[in-house]
Structure 1
Amino acid sequence: MSMFKVFDISGSAVSAQSQRLNVVASNLANADTVAGPDGQVYKARNVVFKTVMMDTAGSAARGEADNPVMASAGVRVSDVTEDQTPGRKVLNPAHPLADKDGYVTYSNVNAVEEMVNMISSSRSYQNNIEVMNTAKSLLQKTLQMGQGV
């Protein structure tokens, strides 16, 4: 595998983790929202990753028949799904958005899970940046050796 493929692989992971961080930020921002007048409440979103084969140019391969020896794997976000678990209900008859039984429906976002997702995604992002920096450093050292310096 070419050293340049490392940038393609890590770059795809950085892009996917960046999207995951955006979804986590959106979930955390809506953790304490309540149902609106239409009865709909924010539902937590989850990112689904997919492995994708990269061709020799570093772009996503068109088909599985491409040469697997020359291809490398990357990752991309294939979907963002909504968590279908019901939101938590809190008894608060004085709240303006309470239902007929006096319950207010909050979003189904679990802040603790989202913080874990944020830490995991952030570390993965940082690790892939470190991989790219290490590959860059190795390529620079190789060029220096070729110059006889």
Structure 2
Amino acid sequence: MSDLFRVFNTSASALTAQSVRLNTVASNLANASTAATTPEATYKSKQVLFQAVMDQEDPNGVAIPVRVSGIVDSTAEPIPTYEPNHPLANDDGYVFRPAISVVEEMANMMSASRSYEANIEVMNTSRELLTRTLQVGQN
């Protein structure tokens, strides 16, 4: 029975982690076309780092919760674009845009969304199993 509760814990932690990932992707997509005057002021895309957390009380590894260990900025260089009429253009007529691939971010969003859905399904199945176990105990 306690293994089912551990599955809930693992799925809940994965849901939380995927939610952070979805929010990060949304932020990247929202800032994909922003412009800045300097490379240093340009938005840098963010990536979520996940970490599996080993449970000391669970030597069989039945449930390994997931957590976000950090969010890191991309090291990709901003893309200089010649736009002399842009209000943020520097003295040379360039604005700097983040090096964000909308296609990659959309793929990342779909992956996070599918992971989120899969963990919801795990939680629903576990709840169903727990309910059936309780019903068997009542009969």
TM norm structure 1: 0.84
* Structure 1 runs not aligned, ≥5 long: 57-66
User: In the alignment, does 2:91 pair up with 1:90?
Assistant: no
Q: What is the correspondence of 1:1-149 to structure 2 with a 5 Å cutoff?
A: 2-36=3-37, 40-56=41-57, 68-69=59-60, 72-148=63-139
Amino acid of the structure 2 residue aligned with 1:95? H
Q: Deviations over 1:8-31 (max 9, x none)?
A: 111110010011111111111111
Distance in 2 of aligned mates of 1:92 and 1:22: 30
Please, what is the CA RMSD of the aligned residues? 2.0
Provide closer, same or farther for how the CA distance between residues 133 and 49 of structure 1 changes in structure 2, counting only shifts above 3 A: same
User: Structure 1 segments of 4 or more deviating over 6 A?
Assistant: none
Q: Which moved more, 1:5-14 or 1:90-99?
A: 90-99
TM norm structure 2: 0.90
Q: Which moved more, 1:108-117 or 1:29-38?
A: 29-38
SS at match of 2:33: coil
Report the structure, 1 or 2, having the larger helix content. Answer: 2
* Structure 2 runs not aligned, ≥5 long: none
Deviation at 1:83, TM superposition (A): 0.4
Distance in 2 of aligned mates of 1:38 and 1:106: 8
Provide closer, same or farther for how the CA distance between residues 15 and 112 of structure 1 changes in structure 2, counting only shifts above 3 A: same
Deviation at 1:68, TM superposition (A): 2.4
Provide closer, same or farther for how the CA distance between residues 36 and 102 of structure 1 changes in structure 2, counting only shifts above 3 A: closer
Distance in 2 of aligned mates of 1:127 and 1:31: 28
Instruction: Give aligned pairs, total.
Output: 138
Distance in 1 of aligned mates of 2:86 and 2:61: 61
SS at match of 2:53: strand
Distance in 2 of aligned mates of 1:89 and 1:75: 38
Provide closer, same or farther for how the CA distance between residues 47 and 38 of structure 1 changes in structure 2, counting only shifts above 3 A: closer
Distance in 2 of aligned mates of 1:108 and 1:51: 29
SS at match of 1:120: helix
Distance in 2 of aligned mates of 1:107 and 1:82: 11
